[in-house]
């Protein structure tokens, strides 16, 4: 009788272990996958850009005549990105600021900001808030900022704008 009792207990443990394993597998499939990027992405700031006004003085931009783009160098390195080329790769973006860093009184009033960037010398403008995946290695980025007044003109004075380049 004891032999039968132990065999039954072993069978119950196996069933419980199998049920627990199936539950754990199901739980893993239902939960969102979380991962950390294993690697580095370094941004080295290069030349500052210059924003100039249009003739109507309602647009300041680095793409206006006499303006220039800001530049930086991005170096991305991720082991999993190089092995799988699917996971843990970095993306670059340059979202628009919400205001000037410094401006005379009224400079930010009725003003909207837009950024575009180009990677690796490409002539194609990418909207600033559209992340672009980069492969491992060194990449150049050129960033342009435009500030547009919806009504009126920009008051006389000194303006400064800052765009944050992100590598995530």
Q: Give the per-residue pLDDT at 81.
A: 73
- pLDDT score, position 49: 97
CA distances 84 to 74, 76, 102, 167, Å, are 21, 15, 44, 19
Two tokens at 112?
Answer: 């909207």
User: Is the pLDDT at 33 greater than 80, yes or no?
Assistant: no
Strand partners of residue 134: 90
Q: What percent of the chain has pLDDT over 70?
A: 74
Q: How far apart are CA 157 and CA 149, in angstroms?
A: 15
Number of H helices, E strands in the chain: 2, 10
- Cβ count near 5 (within 10 Å): 9
Q: Is the model's pLDDT at 12 over the cut of 80?
A: no
How far apart are alpha carbons 6 and 48 in whole angstroms? 78
Mean pLDDT of 65-94: 85
Query: pLDDT category, 38, cuts 50, 70, 90?
Result: confident
Q: How much is the average pLDDT of 70-99?
A: 85
pLDDT above 80 (res 99): yes
- Reported confidence tier of residue 39, pLDDT bands at 50, 70, 90: confident
**141-157 per-position pLDDT tens digit:** 999 999 999 999 999 99
Query: pLDDT value at position 82?
Result: 63
Dist CA 17 CA 59 (whole Å):
69
Q: How far apart are CA 52 and CA 56, in angstroms?
A: 12
Q: Which two tokens stand for residue 101?
A: 């860093």
The whole-model pTM stands at 0.75
For residues 117 and 143, is the Cβ–Cβ distance under 8 A? yes
Q: How confident is the model at residue 18 (pLDDT cuts 50, 70, 90)?
A: very low
Look at phi and psi of residue 3 and say left if phi exceeds 0, alpha if psi is from -120 to 50, else beta. Answer: alpha
DSSP 3-state assignment of 18? helix
Is the pLDDT reported for residue 15 higher than 70? Answer: no
């Amino acid at each position: 009788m004891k032999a039968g009792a132990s065999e039954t207990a072993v069978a119950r443990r196996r069933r419980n272990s199998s049920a627990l394993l199936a539950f754990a597998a199901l739980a893993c499939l239902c939960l969102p996958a979380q991962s950390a990027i294993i690697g580095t992405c370094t941004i080295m700031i290069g030349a500052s850009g210059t924003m100039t006004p249009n003739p109507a003085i309602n647009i300041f931009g680095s793409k206006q005549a006499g303006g220039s783009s800001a530049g930086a160098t991005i170096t991305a390195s991720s082991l999993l990105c190089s092995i799988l080329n699917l996971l843990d790769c970095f993306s670059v973006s340059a979202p628009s600021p919400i205001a000037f860093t410094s401006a005379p009184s009224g400079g930010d009033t009725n003003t909207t900001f837009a950024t575009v960037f180009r990677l690796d010398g490409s002539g194609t403008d990418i909207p600033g808030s559209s992340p672009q995946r980069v492969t491992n290695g060194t990449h150049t980025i050129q960033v342009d900022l435009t500030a547009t007044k919806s009504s009126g003109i920009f008051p006389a004075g000194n303006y400064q704008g800052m765009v944050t380049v992100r590598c995530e």
